[in-house]
């Protein structure tokens, strides 16, 4: 069968699991923009290509532009309004030396928890709910890298703000910068240019103080992240789940023929065997001695083509 000419392609290091799942995220978004879109790895797994339906224009810059402008929210519009009203009421009663009624305080705290670590809603034109991390903290099959108090929405929004919208998008996964606090997290007159830590899906990212010889946090150092890898991986992992052969270890498979997102997801986790697929295995690395925070490590190729 003749391989079709792709609409666009990106350079990828598939031994970096963050880049692999970012490719899956690209395919997921393409699937939603252009129904029937297919993706595959080529050039010895160093390039990921996507093709839409015949004669359909499907440029990568259109997809990335859509992602950069799409709403990313942790609460529904009704929940955001409810939370704002409760916060306003709490400020008002505190100014009078009183407390918010217990049932309202409980509701406000629940909404705050949802805003920090609940599902994330990606709006039009993609209309996607992200919630794959909502499992128990000790679930060995979850590739979650963060602890409970980290604000997922803030990280996703910081990555969205930093997406490249021009230049050579074929090198999308190499675009690097310091992620900054989104404007909606600014408090009063404070500047909103504080650095934001990424999800640590990109294996190139610093992982443990022993690697550098000192703690970056204690030195108040700022380091670059790859926003496209971080955000697209978060999206890709919703449908494309790795297999987990052992605690902290995960496997994924590349494929070399055009596949739609639903079919490719079955191949990526090893559930659907096809010819010319390649298996990779990576380990979650701990970022601190308390083993609260993790990072994706580089993957090792397992065997040859299957």
Q: How many domains does the chain fold into?
A: 2
Q: Which one is predicted more confidently, 191 or 125? A: 125
CA 15 – CA 39 distance, rounded (Å): 18
CA atoms within 13 A on the CB side of 1: 5
Q: What is the mean pLDDT of residues 3-16?
A: 95
Looking at residue 151, its pLDDT comes to: 83
Asked, for residue 140, whether it belongs to a domain, the answer is: yes
Mean pLDDT of the chain: 88
- For residue 176, what pLDDT is reported? 96
Same domain, 14 and 32: yes
pLDDT in tens, 227-240: 999 999 999 999 99
In degrees and rounded to multiples of 5, residue 196 shows phi and psi of -120, 130
Could you tell me if 39 and 178 lie in one domain?
Answer: yes
- Structure-model confidence comparison of residues 113 and 130, the more confident one: 130
Mean pLDDT of 143-147: 89
Domain range spanning residue 152?
A: 8-70+122-302
Please indicate, yes or no, if residue 3 is contained in any of the structural domains: no
Interval 68-93 mean pLDDT: 87
CA 287 to chain centre: 18
Tell me the average pLDDT across 198-207. Answer: 88
**Rounded Cα gap, residues 49 and 27, in angstroms:** 9
Examine the domain organization and report whether 94 and 203 are in the same domain.
no
Asked if 199 and 209 touch (Cβ cutoff 8 Å), the reply is no
Does a structural domain hold residue 225?
yes
80 and 21 share one domain: no
Do 178 and 271 belong together in one domain? yes
| Mean pLDDT within 73-92 | 84
Residues 6+ apart with CB under 8 A from 178: 195, 222, 223, 224, 225
What is the pLDDT at residue 267? 97
Contact in structure between 228 and 164 (CB atoms under 8 Å):
yes
pLDDT for 187 beyond 90: no
Whether residue 185 is found in the same domain as residue 90: no
> Does 196 share its domain with 98?
no
Residues 141 and 250 in one domain: yes
pLDDT per residue over 35-78, tens digit each? 999 999 999 999 999 999 777 788 999 999 999 999 998 877 78
């Amino acid at each position: 069968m003749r391989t079709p000419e792709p609409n666009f392609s990106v350079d990828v290091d598939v031994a970096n699991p963050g880049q692999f799942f970012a490719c899956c995220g690209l395919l997921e978004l393409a699937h939603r923009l252009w129904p029937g879109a297919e993706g595959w790895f080529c050039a010895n797994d160093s390039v990921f290509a996507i093709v839409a339906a015949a004669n359909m224009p499907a440029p990568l810059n259109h997809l990335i532009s859509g992602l950069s402008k799409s709403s990313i929210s942790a609460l529904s519009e009704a929940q955001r309004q409810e939370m704002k009203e409760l916060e306003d009421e709490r400020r008002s009663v505190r100014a009078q030396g009183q407390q918010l009624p217990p049932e309202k305080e409980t509701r406000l705290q629940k909404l705050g928890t949802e805003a920090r670590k609940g599902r994330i809603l990606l709006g039009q034109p993609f209309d996607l709910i992200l919630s794959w991390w909502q499992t128990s903290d000790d679930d060995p099959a979850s590739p979650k890298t963060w602890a409970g108090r980290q604000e997922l929405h803030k990280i996703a929004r910081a990555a969205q703000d930093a997406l490249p919208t021009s230049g050579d998008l074929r090198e999308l996964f190499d675009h690097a910068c310091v992620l900054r606090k989104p404007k909606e997290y600014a408090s009063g007159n404070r500047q909103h240019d504080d650095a934001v830590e990424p999800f640590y899906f990109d294996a190139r990212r610093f992982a443990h103080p022993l690697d550098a010889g000192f703690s970056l946090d204690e030195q108040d150092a700022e380091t670059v992240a790859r926003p496209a890898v971080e955000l697209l991986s978060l999206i890709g992992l919703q449908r494309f789940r790795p297999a987990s052969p052992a605690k902290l270890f995960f496997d994924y498979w590349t494929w070399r023929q055009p596949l739609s997102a639903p079919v490719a997801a079955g191949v990526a986790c090893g559930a659907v065997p096809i010819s010319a697929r390649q298996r990779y295995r990576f380990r979650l690395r701990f970022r601190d001695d308390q083993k609260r925070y993790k990072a994706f490590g580089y993957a090792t190729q397992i065997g040859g083509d299957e």
